[in-house]
Amino acid sequence: MSDKQDQRPSNNLAEQVMARLSADIRGGRLAPGARLPTEQALTAELGVSRTVVREAVAALRADGLVVTRRGSGAYVADPAAGPFRIAASTDTTLDDILSVMELRRAVEVEAAALAAERASRRQVAAMRTAWRSIDAALKRGEGAVAEDFTFHRTIAEATGNDQFPRFLAYLGGHVIPRQSVRLSVDTPAERRAYLERIQHEHARIVSAISDGDVVEARRAMREHLTRSLERYRALAGGKNTHSGGSSHGRR
């Protein structure tokens, strides 16, 4: 339930066919391992040319939903495991961004802890270099969003687990671009104070990681990202205590 698809008419026939087949697969009407109708059958059933059907199947194959075997047919992929993606359409609300930021916080807090356990001297040095880059950008009066992202990436890389930087990079594309909005609402003085506090938080994170202090690294990163979240939440109007929306009285 609640898949939130882009359900526009899509003047593209191939996309319509793809949406149809994709729904059949995710809806369970086509079980994993089952064979799709032949291209000929689909052209007849849907009233489109084979070109369109083939492009639709190519798209499904790119999403990992089906595999094709020449001479045999197209089959639903085993774990029906399409890629993970975040809506990222035009109707992204502030609540959507908060949801993604919470997910990001979960990953980065743990990344800081793992980095404190595992970071090499060289990786810690990379963090300090990234920190100084932010400082330099701030002194130039810039927002330093790219430098900030690089800083967080160096921590993710220090986990020794490639999934962390990869996932962070993915999330970054969905959160970072809007940070300019956040910064633009303040006066220059407020903004400068804010950015300096951020840098101080960054420094504490690096210190903890450098010391191998897992607990403190986690705490510092959590505080850093939680403040970022709170700031966003305030922007949302303060009426939501969390991204869920609907209230539910417990206790």
Partner DNA sequence: TTTCTAAAGTTGTCTGACAACTTTTCTGAC
Partner DNA sequence: GTCAGAAAAGTTGTCAGACAACTTTAGAAA
Q: Among 10, 120, 129, 180, which residue interacts with its own copies (rule: CB under 8 A)? A: 120
Task: Assess 109 for contact with its own copies (CB under 8 A).
Answer: yes
Our CB check for DNA shows the closer of 48 and 77 to be: 48
Q: Among 43, 154, 159, 228, which residue interacts with its own copies (rule: CB under 8 A)? A: 159
Q: Which does 128 bind (CB under 5 to 8 A by kind): its own copies, DNA, none?
A: none
Contact region with its own copies (CB under 8 A), list: 8-16, 136-144, 145-153, 179-187: 8-16
Angle 55-59-62 from CA coordinates, rounded to 5°: 140
30: nearest Cα among 8, 3, 57, 1: 57
Task: Assess 12 for contact with DNA (CB under 7 A).
Answer: yes
Output the CA torsion 240→243→245→248 (10° steps).
-90
- Please list every residue from 176 through 205 that binds its own copies, using CB under 8 A: 177
Q: Residue 38, SS3?
A: coil
Tally Cβ neighbours within 10 Å of residue 230. 10
Task: Assess 8 for contact with DNA (CB under 7 A).
Answer: no
Task: Assess 43 for contact with its own copies (CB under 8 A).
Answer: no
116: nearest Cα among 205, 236, 237, 197: 205
Q: Among 75, 149, 170, 194, which residue interacts with its own copies (rule: CB under 8 A)? A: 170
21: nearest Cα among 64, 62, 51, 65: 65
Q: What is the DSSP letter of 35?
A: B
140: nearest Cα among 192, 182, 94: 192
Please state the length of the chain.
251
Task: Assess 230 for contact with its own copies (CB under 8 A).
Answer: no
Q: H or E segment at 68?
A: strand 66-69
Task: Assess 239 for contact with its own copies (CB under 8 A).
Answer: no
Q: Among 84, 139, 185, 239, which residue interacts with its own copies (rule: CB under 8 A)? A: 84
Q: Among 6, 26, 45, 49, which residue interacts with DNA (rule: CB under 7 A)? A: 49
218: nearest Cα among 92, 63, 108: 108
Q: What is the pattern of x (binds DNA, CB under 7 A) and - over residues 58-97?
A: ----------xxxxxxx-----------------------
Our CB check for its own copies shows the closer of 166 and 231 to be: 166
Task: Assess 50 for contact with DNA (CB under 7 A).
Answer: yes
Task: Assess 114 for contact with its own copies (CB under 8 A).
Answer: yes
Task: Assess 33 for contact with its own copies (CB under 8 A).
Answer: no
